[in-house]
Structure 1
């Protein structure tokens, strides 16, 4: 299986996201976590998956020169709504406004993953349509107060309370919405594992 094919490699997850860490653990992979601070600003002309692909590469570029057996996994997720990217909210007001803008509508969640070794880099992305029912202001405030979604693109986690009570349909991978398109990561790791 995958873990045997990767046994000669040292896998480094370049993310502080507990969700990405948990998903990688569920793939039964041995890995360490190492994160370098990166300014996540991106050129304004970039759109949709161009943004997440750019940021995934930027996060990988922050690492020192890799040794032959090291592999870096980077990830990035945005919510795309009304022709603009919603990243992580800076405060409660921003989180409220983001969720209000998603209420009663369908938006896209775009996640990119990067798998980088000393010899090659594979970047893949996935897009999912997510629909919310109309959310009341009280529901939004309750969610922000109790779950504090300030580390999540678009100010929500699909696996949390707001996802359970608010999301009416998903067209695509649940894990892409969580922030890690696991099916794409699996394929990329298999490709990197080939000597």
Structure 2
């Protein structure tokens, strides 16, 4: 039985305000409902390795979800970070911060890591995906154009691969393209299938 048919017996709740995650869930044909917005302080231990942050935060978001789950609910939470030189590049504070991040990424390789957690009333399962991304060197005027035209202030690492910068500046990737967009949807499909059939 196909996954979307199995999910008819469940209510898949996507706890994310990201339009890109919604687009990916819809594109994959997964029937879901958007969970109500809730607050979660995305704070992680200071000694945690950068690559482990998104998995930690996806679990933290899952545990912070305030509404009780019913017996047929599956809650999906996720977090995505850009890692460069062992440091997390999160969402930029402002224009200057965004431009600074892009200057650091220019001409270099970095890793995009997503953590995803699935939770029901009785079980929790977390997994991650990693994608390597190579930027060609960027001119300051290109960085300024991208930041001003696309305002990537809600994006980890200050860029969206599906926007102009992805077409014009990313030389290659190894791993899931959709992971860089914000959700490793193929792995979500596989892990969700496994989760339902265990």
TM-score by length of 1: 0.96
The yes-or-no answer on 1:6 pairing with 2:2 is no
Q: How many residues align?
A: 195
Query: Matched residue of 2:122: which SS?
Result: coil
Aligned residue runs from structure 1 range 23-62, under 5 A = 23-34=24-35, 35-62=37-64
The yes-or-no answer on 1:131 pairing with 2:134 is yes
CA contact (8 A) 1:48 1:110 kept: no
The runs of 4+ residues in structure 1 deviating greater than 6 Å are none
Equivalent residue, structure 1, for 2:123: 120
Aligned residue runs from structure 1 range 88-167, under 5 A = 88-167=91-170
Q: Deviations over 1:6-51 (max 9, x none)?
A: 1110111000000000000012122111231111111111113320
Structure 1, unmatched stretches of 5+, are: none
The yes-or-no answer on 1:175 pairing with 2:178 is yes
Distance 1:49 1:116, change over 3 A: farther
**Which has the larger displacement, 183-192 or 15-24?**
183-192
TM-score by length of 2: 0.95
Q: Distance in 1 between matches of 2:86 and 2:115?
A: 18
Q: Distance in 1 between matches of 2:3 and 2:51?
A: 27
Query: Matched residue of 1:15: which SS?
Result: coil
Q: Distance in 1 between matches of 2:31 and 2:175?
A: 27
Q: Distance in 1 between matches of 2:13 and 2:26?
A: 12
Structure 2, unmatched stretches of 5+, are: none
